[in-house]
Each structure stands twice: as C-alpha cells, then as structure tokens.
C-alpha cells in the first residue's frame, strides 16, 4: 500500500512539474515578439519613414495580431 502511494505521489509531482513549464514559455515568447514589433515600428517612425498616426495605427494592428497568435 505504501509503495503504491509513493509511486502515485511521485507521478503526480512529475506531472505537475511538466505542466508548469509550458505557460511560462508562451508568455516569454509573446513578450519578446511584443517588444520586437514595438521597436521595429519605433525605428520606422524615428527614421521619418512614417508619421505618428501611421505608427500608432501599425502598433494597434500589431497588438491585435499578437493577441490572436497568443491564444
């Protein structure tokens, strides 16, 4: 009985550890893509290639796109 209980707890612990890693990776990649898109748009604006309203419009589109990809 004790052996079965120990094995059950061990398997439960391993399963819990395996599931906690996935959401962290998704959050981390979302954050990296978010920053990359922001700096790309900012660089275009600072170079004078787009106006402030175009930059804001691009940023809103990028945010919507990233949220869809994250789901």
13 found inside a domain: no
Number of structural domains in the chain: 1
3-state secondary structure string, the chain? Answer: CHHHHHHHHHHHHHHHHHHHHHHHHHHHHHHHHHHHHHHHHHHHHHCCCCCHHHHHHHHHHHHHHHHHHHC
pLDDT for 54: 96
pLDDT for 68: 85
Domain that holds residue 45: 23-71
Q: Which has the higher per-residue pLDDT, 10 or 67?
A: 67
35 found inside a domain: yes
- For 8-64, how does the pLDDT look when each residue is reduced to its tens digit (9 = 90+)? 766 767 666 655 555 555 666 778 888 999 999 999 999 999 999 999 999 999 999
45 found inside a domain: yes
55 found inside a domain: yes
6 found inside a domain: no
């Amino acid at each position: 009985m004790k052996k079965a209980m120990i094995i059950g707890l061990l398997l439960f612990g391993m399963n819990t550890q395996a599931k906690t890693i996935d959401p962290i990776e998704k959050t981390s990649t979302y954050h990296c893509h978010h920053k990359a898109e922001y700096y790309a748009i900012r660089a275009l604006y600072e170079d004078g290639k787009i106006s402030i309203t175009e930059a804001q419009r691009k940023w809103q589109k990028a945010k919507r796109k990233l949220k869809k990809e994250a789901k």
